[in-house]
Amino acid sequence: MYSSIAANKRNTVLIMAVFVGIIGAIGWVVSTMYGNTSIAVWVITVAAVYAIVQYYMASKLAVSMTGARQIEKKDNPRLYRIVENLAITEGMPMPKVYIINDPAPNAFATGRNPNVAIVAATTGLLEIMDDRELTGVMAHELGHVKNYDIRVSMVAFGLVSAIALLSDLVIRMMFFSDNRNANPIMLVIGVVVIILAPIIAAIVQMAVSRQREYLADASGAMTTRDSEGLASALAKLREYGRPMQRQSSATAHLFFSNPLKSGGIAKLFSSHPPLEDRIARLHKNATKF
């Protein structure tokens, strides 16, 4: 468990380094196009500012994109008390609790840190899960909060958005500017870099997100000392899961289970490991929790 947390922290540094490298590559392309090395510095600076703004605004954006509404204990005592008891068990600040009116069973956590964390569950999840299973799901979400996955998710979301924005901007600059004096080979390399940059960024984000799902499962099982309860919840998702009504690939990695429509390409870029793998890991490590 603790080795997984250490690996998680190393992966955090890795993903930030990869994103900075990708942004630097985009800056190099622009600098090469115009023969001005200072452009690279400006590209990296603009991307960093954009990522910081996204970091502070992303949780509000995620909530608004999902249609979640905040509740108090009187609105849904069952969900609120389960989250409250888990927060007390973990010695964490009580997160804000939201409900999403959606028949698809799912949940998510977001926020910059445990002091401003948000956890949410869909009406579909509340309907099909018993208290034991719902506790396992919400313990998983609080695991994301405790492990600071929510912070990394917000930073990664901001950087991926920045890379996509920069790539689109540079592509337009290359096609609408006068490149007659530019080296054709450098232009080809530049186009390849710009096209691959957002794809590579998304793949790295998805890979790290998958590892964080496994770790949050382990954290949730450690909190409740009931890995079978979480495994049972995942089994129900495998049986009753469906795409959410309001879907967005930008926020998909925040959810307990993949909220998007399944498919070949969608599975390749999924931010979630297969439910079967998650269930198998919980069963295998049941005695260790």
Q: Provide CB contacts within 8 A for 226, sequence distance 6+.
A: 132, 135, 136, 289
In terms of DSSP bridges, do strands 96-100 and 69-71 run parallel, antiparallel, or are they unpaired? antiparallel
Please report, for residues 9, 19, 215, 234, the alpha-carbon distance to residue 145 in angstroms, rounded to integers and kept in the order given. Answer: 14, 23, 12, 20
Question: Side-chain half-sphere of 73: how many Cα atoms within 13 Å?
Answer: 6
133 is catalytic: no
Chain centroid to CA 142: how far? 14
List the structure tokens of 203: 């793949």
Which residues are bridge partners to 110 per DSSP? 118
Q: Is the C-alpha dihedral spanning 73, 62, 202, 44 positive or negative?
A: negative
Kindly name the residue from 72, 84, 141, 213 that is annotated as catalytic: 141
Count of CB atoms situated within 10 Å of the CB of 187? 15
CA-CA distance, 78 to 87, in Å (whole number)? Answer: 14
Count of CB atoms situated within 10 Å of the CB of 259? 28
Q: Which residues are catalytic?
A: 141
